[in-house]
Amino acid sequence: HADGQALAWQIEERGIELDSANLARLVKRKQALSMEILERTRPIAPGCREVLERLSQRFLLALASSSSDQTVALFWEASQCREYFKVVRTGSQVLQAKPHPAIYLDTLSALGCDTAWVVEDAVEGIRAAVAAGCSVIGVEGTFSASRLLAAGAQKTVSSIQELPGLL
């Protein structure tokens, strides 16, 4: 499962050693906390729906999320924007997590494309998209613009409101 693999990669990057039982407990806890936060805070960027509507009039949109099916379902409920996406791939559907390019390669295949612009807010996601042959716009928030660019993003934005002007 990609969600567990992503967490294992992040733990390994920090030099922490965990056995599979403890890793499985951490994965379950992370998933539970993610669901709780999504249910409680509904963290949808201002103008998200409007930006997606504008972009979907010019481009085929896809979501390639490392999150579980449950977490993505909560996002759809909170954002009310599922209709704008032609293809959806989640961490539950791939065996290898970002930074492995599997989720992007699968998404590109489903779209019938060889490459695409990817909008990412995470370093691992940027690395995965670049490895899949995509160009990336990094969205500041979790990581600074300099970290997003260092990971391989070609451009950065501080808000998704800037995306229609860049694409």
pLDDT digits (tens, 9 = 90+) for 99-145: 999 999 999 999 999 999 999 999 999 999 999 999 999 999 989 99
CA–CA distances in Å: residue 13 to residues 42, 100, 119, 133, 137: 29, 14, 24, 24, 24
What H or E segment, with its residue span, contains residue 14?
A: none
Q: What is the mean pLDDT of residues 42-65?
A: 90
pLDDT of residue 4: 63
- Copy the structure tokens of residue 58: 């010019």
Q: Which residues, other chains included, contact 64 with Cβ-Cβ below 8 Å and sequence gap of 6+?
A: 89, 103, 104, 106, 107, 118
Which residue has tokens 């370093």?
123
- Copy the structure tokens of residue 54: 């504008």
Stated pTM of the model: 0.78
Euclidean distance between CA atoms 150 and 103, whole angstroms? 21
